[in-house]
Structure 1
Amino acid sequence: MHKFVKGAAVAFFSLAIVACSSKPDEEELLAGKQSPEELYSQARNSMELGNFSKAVKTLEALDSKYPFGPYKTQVQLDLIYAYYKQADTANAIANIDRFLKLNPTHPDADYVTYMRGLVNMQADSYMLHELLHIDRTDRDPQNAKDAFKDFAKLLKAYPDSKYAADARQRMQYLKNRLASYAIKVAEYYVKMDAWSAAAVRAQTVLESYSDTPYVEQALAIMAEAYGKLGQNELKQHVLMVMKANYPDNEMLKQD
């Protein structure tokens, strides 16, 4: 079986080269007399040229016209990748879930699970903000959470998968993203004098993201919040942890 989509999927972002030819009309493709081989050849050529819009049209037509044809499985795999390249989250996730439901033991199930993580991770990212170095870590992290779960599922079900190492790296990135979001929320609560909520949100960083660079900030927020709440015993405990791990923190010099 041709594995066109697998090798290319490892890259998180890549630039698509849009071909000059016009998009094929799906009705024409369905009404045409092309064989499955001819249609799939067209789709593959479009993908290799980076014209994923044209590839999607051809693959969708092939899937509709020959749902039980010789390329049915590869068509689904290619559609998932083509939707991903177009940032079409809804269709990508729908096809991924359909594939896994119908083919739970397929040899490419690990790849499809990995792709689910990539699609959700892509949905969480804002390329323009990243290019302009605009901090938007305060945005809703639901897609990041979903991506983390997808990669965790991959590692649990397929620990020896060729995608496992990359998934682990992405999970660390996502942990940092989620920890940063938790800090942003905690800081917002601090500004609103909602000290109990600030302490609880900061504590989630210690509980769930203790291997990220945001632990020191979380401890500082907790210490300040406990102080404002009059919970001096809890504050002193947090300060002890800070002294042991972050002795140069400014809060320790003030206390």
Structure 2
Amino acid sequence: MVNKSLWAALVAVSLTIGLAGCGSTPQDEFANVSTDKLYADAREEASAGNFEAAIKRYEKVEARASGTLMSQQAQLELAYAYYKTNERAQALAKIERFIRLHPTSPAMDYAMYLQGLINFNDDLGIFGRLSKQNMAERDQQASRDAYDAFKQLTERFPTSKYAADARLRMNFIVNTLAEGEVLVARYYYRRGAYLAAVNRAQVAVTEFRNSPAVEEALFIMARSYDQMAMPQLRDDALRVLKTNFPNSTLLSQGYQPVSKPWWQVW
């Protein structure tokens, strides 16, 4: 028979070990590093392109220095580091939180610019990269979000050092949004969905009238109206096309055969 005293001692030792195990926590690798040193190291890692290492340090700085300007700066630099590591969701969450919590920050113009940049360079994915897909051939919501961020920046901070680049990007986005509408209109036209083609082309004409894509949009409208036996509307579209694009090759040559990339199945 087991000695009761010995049994009680063994149970007590086991409980002590178990409680010690439950109370253990992962060791903080930065526990002995000051917040200032940690922030300096994070910036150094980011400057060297080691964004994963920078993220670990910025996260610690943000938590330790909560409520300070250093914490705010760490939030901004975290958003940029996430952006550089293609972690778009985390980058947007971080920058949107900054904008919401610090509306009077002197760095607000940069925050808006970064928000636009993250959406502007939204990752196309592996098939987009392999096919060299352009911005007009993907979901346009990210481009619209980028445009809105850049627009707010240029309106609120017209003299910001980021405003000029934001305006250039806005012009590019407008052209790609218009091209996106025309791509859809072209798709519908070539499949005989003429009313749908007109509707999408009309968006490009009315919303993005200064875009080069308007030329093809008007041509699609004229051809679609012709297919639907609507000569007056066809002639109106042609008249606008000839007035605004008198040298358009579409008027003399129409659509030319386009070789499809390997991934395009329609």
Band of TM-score, shorter chain: 0.7 to 0.9
Higher-RCO chain (CA-CA 8 Å, sequence separation at least 6): 1
Residue 83 of structure 1 is matched in structure 2 by: 82
Deviation at 1:199, TM superposition (A): 0.5
* Corresponding position of 1:228: 227
State the 1:118 CA deviation: 0.2
CA positional deviation for 1:214: 0.9
TM-score (norm 2): 0.78
Conservation of the 8 A alpha-carbon contact between 2:216 and 2:250 = no
Count of matched residue positions in the alignment of Structure 1 and Structure 2 = 229
Tell me which amino acid in the other structure corresponds to 1:167.
Answer: A
**In structure 2, what is the equivalent of residue 97 of structure 1?**
96
Which ranges in structure 2 are unaligned for 5 or more consecutive residues?
1-25, 255-266
Tell me the amino acid that sits aligned with residue 216 of structure 2: Q
The aligned amino acid for 2:83 is Y
Task: After TM superposition, list the pairs within 5 Å mapping 1:53-72 onto structure 2.
Answer: 53-68=52-67, 71-72=70-71
What is the 5 A alignment of 1:151-166?
A: 151-166=150-165
- Cα deviation digits, residues 67-113 of structure 1 (max 9, x gap): 23562121112112111111211111111111111110111101101
Change (3 A) 1:33 1:195: same
Same amino acid, percent of matched pairs: 38
| 3-state secondary structure, aligned to 2:62 | helix
The answer (yes or no) to whether the contact 1:195–1:229 under 8 Å persists in 2 is yes
Question: Could you tell me which residue of structure 2 aligns to residue 210 of structure 1?
Answer: 209
Q: Residue in 1 aligned with 2:196? A: 197
Offset at 1:245? Answer: 2.4
Q: In 1, distance between residues paired with 2:220 and 2:202?
A: 9
CA pair 199-119 structure 1, distance change in 2 beyond 3 A: same
Superposed, which structure 2 residues align to 1:165-184 within 5 Å?
Answer: 165-184=164-183
Deviation (angstroms), 1:207:
1.2
TM-score by length of 1: 0.81
The equivalent of 2:187 in structure 1 is 188
> Larger Cα Rg: Structure 1 or Structure 2?
2
Q: What 5-or-longer segments of structure 1 have no aligned partner?
A: 1-26
Report the RMSD for the aligned CA atoms in angstroms. Answer: 2.4
Secondary structure at the aligned position of 1:140 is classed as coil
* 2:136 aligned residue: 137
Does the residue aligned with 2:81 lie in a helix, a strand or coil?
helix
Alpha-carbon distance, 1:202 to partner: 0.5
Partners of 1:36 and 1:69 within 8 A in 2: no
Contact 1:124–1:141 (8 Å) recurs in 2: no
- Corresponding residue SS for 1:213: coil
Counterparts of residues 15-30 of structure 1 (less than 5 Å):
28-29=27-28
Aligned residue in 2 for 1:110: 109
Structure 2 vs 1, CA of residues 170 and 28 (structure 1 numbering), >3 Å: closer, same or farther? farther
